[in-house]
Structure 1
Amino acid sequence: MNRISESLSGCVRTLENLHLRYDADVGVMLVQVDQMARINNSAGTAAGDAVLDEIGRRLESFATDEFGQGSRVDRIDGPRFLIVPAVPLSLGALRAQERALHVALAEPMVGDPKGRLAIRIAAALIARDEPVVEQLRTASDQLARPASARDGAMVMAALSRGEVVIHYQPQYDVATGAMSGVEALLRWQHPELGLLGAGPLVTAARAARLERELTEHAHHVALAEIAAWPEALANIRVSLNITAADLGDPEFAERFAGMARQANVDPARLTLELTEQAMLSDPASAAEQLAQIRAFGCAIAIDDFGTGYSSLSLLARLPIDYLKIDSGFTRTIDDSDRDRIVVRAIVDLARALGLLVVAEGIEKPQQLERLKELGVATWQGFLKSGPVAGDQLPGLLAA
């Protein structure tokens, strides 16, 4: 396996040697991982490092398979990687591999089970007659620079072409094991790269200030599908995610209620999930919108609970029904006394406030046993099922 370096020096020498050996310009690929701050904040820097290590391993495997032995992968700056093929390749040849590389990195991984990471990939040509370090820095800076106009065009094209799809991750009753609900998760059916996680599209929408448009479109898609589900799924609750941009819109609750009525979906089946951070971005507006949503008949859940800075008084004042424990706490609940104490404290807090608890990120039977001991009501995770298309849910219900 190739060594992943933390500096530019190794790959600079490799590129200079390729220039000398082949007397040719050398094509490279740069990869940037977005949304790492979310993982570091929610699950800790160790989990973030594990994600980057896994990405590094996937990049090394990809480089060896596609570009040959001797290809090099360098981690050059935080969540940014550089691939130097073993032999000089043209920009066209590298760009032809971008789709395969996206696919290699698209599978969910420990630390990012919902596939929220956004991966940016760019090919660059390193000329043999110009300083290598400066060229690499320029290419790296261009990859990191926001491109709102391009991002906006990409989001609007995805919406107009119907590329936004919804997958559903089942939620199970801890006591009985029965499926009791699902969380609706956005996916991007890219015309060239295939099915991608939400990360790339959400990141682009945020940069282009199109978050509300993307969320509304995803809700339209999900509500239309829910309305068409068979009778076997009639009692399954559905959680839909909302953002700080939604809560900051004074017309959001009324507009969502109108969409649900038009789709003929019973609001009592729906839960709207928001993160602690979204709730805190504008508490007054959030309280008003959440009160309207509750009055319409939907439940409210705080997602990734324990990773933000919400006050107990705010939790007591807002109309909340569920607390979802972040996977950063549940991942090591079977062997970490500290995480068990945190989860127990959250369960006790929820019980005192009259709230139910959902545990995310359950991947091992031992975690599930701990949840039973701690009195958690509901769980979701890859132990039973990751996110699936809606037409697969009846089969999982019967399993």
Structure 2
Amino acid sequence: MNRTIDSDAASVRHIESLHTQAGADIGVILVQVDQLARINNSAGTETGDALLEEVARRLENFAGDEFGHGSLVERLDGPRFLIVPAMPLSLGALRAQERALHVALAEPMVGDPNGRLAIRIAAALITRDEDIANQLRSASDQLGRPASARDGAMVNAALSRHEVVIHYQPQYDVGTGAMTGVEALLRWQHPELGLLGAGPLVTAARAARLEPELTEHAHRVALAEMANWPPTLAKLRVSLNITAADLGDSEFADRFAMMTKWAGVDPDRITLELTEQAMLSDPASAAAQLAQLRAIGCAIAIDDFGTGYSSLSLLARLPIDYLKIDSGFTRTIDGSDRDRIVVRAIVDLARALGLLVVAEGIENEPQLVRLRELGVATWQGFLKSGPVPGDQLLALME
């Protein structure tokens, strides 16, 4: 079927169902057949339609083999297709399949007069707290533009038009229930599609090598807001995310220190979060940068701990204050013995290393009870609040 994405599409309903079942963001894959107009002009539209049907058949076979037979393949507008795996998968896991998908589509097809198709593939993350159809439409639109013009232009336009905004997800003390901090999360206030998650903008920035510029802009926005918070909110610790590209810049720590000074924000109020993977390309350089940031007063947290390489040697060598347990473990700790064992092991490891633990993705009271039993200090999740604009934080505290 050839159509655009709307709120009644099977893909939207399928993703909504997965969101409900899994309680997690859903990774999808978008596929575009390039130069379809050339094929239609040279061989006729019937040949072009037959070729797209063959693409759909191969995608269905691939999705069933790699992601399970409950996976969904849908034809979108024109020569674009959407794959929704039967289970939640990370962007990393989906991107690892892109080469195999290229191979599956690389075999000559009868409908293509030149024997091979030009295929464009991209993975996207569909979040739970924003309109699914808009997110799919945005990801599909970005895939359809030439990469050289698409990525850099989109990021620069968003930055110049001040479309990057920050929402804050509260963090709570497990024992007292008091709000103790927030995680600052990038959002994109799209001029046509409304509020979108960070995914499309971050992906474009990475492809265009503008990730440091995007991070710095987000930090400036968050620091400016923090500087104007009332005294009650000024007690909160604020977590800001940094990337491998940031740590790869030898001047990042100096520049960040200067930004806090200009904003009038005490670095003691800030935690900088990074993933395990962000440290792996150059651990020595990462350690030096993190030590410099810690020396000015920032705390350091490892985000999504347990989902990457979990190198114990890195934990021993790096200046770290917090471990954040990924929601993939906390989501089922009230029912899964294995996940409880993993969380207990992380808590024991953190305690032995003198680190604090933050649990992500808490959505119900039984999970919170388990955290208390396991000795976790701090949590965040939709049980109390998703990410909200800064002007709503005071009401949440009260």
- Give the match's secondary structure for 1:229: coil
Q: Is the 8 A contact 1:167 1:186 kept in 2?
A: yes
Partner of 1:125: none
Number of residue equivalences: 311
Q: Is the 8 A contact 1:28 1:82 kept in 2?
A: no
Deviation at 1:237, TM superposition (A): 0.3
Partner of 1:51: 26
Structure 2 CA distance for partners of 1:307 and 1:252, relative to 1, 3 Å: same
Deviation at 1:280, TM superposition (A): 1.4
Q: Is residue 2:139 matched to residue 1:147?
A: no
Partner of 1:286: 286
Deviation at 1:149, TM superposition (A): 3.1
Letter in 1 for 2:215: T
Deviation at 1:390, TM superposition (A): 0.2
Partner of 1:328: 328
CA distance in 2, matches of 1:180, 1:272: 16
Deviation at 1:156, TM superposition (A): 0.4
CA distance in 1, matches of 2:198, 2:300: 22
Normalised by the size of structure 1, how large is the TM-score? 0.70
Letter in 1 for 2:365: P
Partner of 1:201: 201
Q: Is the 8 A contact 1:29 1:83 kept in 2?
A: no
Q: Is the 8 A contact 2:332 2:339 kept in 1?
A: yes
Letter in 1 for 2:227: A
Letter in 1 for 2:176: T
- Give the match's secondary structure for 2:328: helix
Task: Map 1:151-162 onto structure 2 (within 5 A).
Answer: 151-162=151-162
Structure 2 CA distance for partners of 1:145 and 1:192, relative to 1, 3 Å: closer
Partner of 2:307: 307
1:208-265 CA distances to partner (integer Å, 9 max, x unpaired)?
A: 0100000000000000000011111011000000000011111000000000000000
Q: Is the 8 A contact 1:362 1:380 kept in 2?
A: yes
Task: Map 1:132-281 onto structure 2 (within 5 A).
Answer: 143=143, 147-281=147-281
Listed as ranges, the gaps of 5+ residues in structure 2 are: 12-20, 31-55, 96-109, 123-142
Structure 2 CA distance for partners of 1:341 and 1:224, relative to 1, 3 Å: same
Partner of 1:361: 361
Q: Is the 8 A contact 1:148 1:204 kept in 2?
A: no
Deviation at 1:358, TM superposition (A): 0.1
Letter in 2 for 1:224: A
Partner of 2:74: 82
Letter in 1 for 2:276: E
Structure 2 CA distance for partners of 1:232 and 1:133, relative to 1, 3 Å: farther
The structure whose RCO (Cα within 8 Å, separation 6+) is larger is: 1
Letter in 1 for 2:267: P
Q: Is the 8 A contact 1:146 1:207 kept in 2?
A: no
Structure 2 CA distance for partners of 1:344 and 1:151, relative to 1, 3 Å: same
- Give the match's secondary structure for 1:290: helix
Partner of 1:298: 298
Deviation at 1:166, TM superposition (A): 0.3
CA distance in 1, matches of 2:4, 2:119: 10
Deviation at 1:310, TM superposition (A): 3.4
Listed as ranges, the gaps of 5+ residues in structure 1 are: 1-13, 15-25, 34-45, 56-72, 86-90, 96-100, 119-129
Q: Is the 8 A contact 1:48 1:111 kept in 2?
A: no
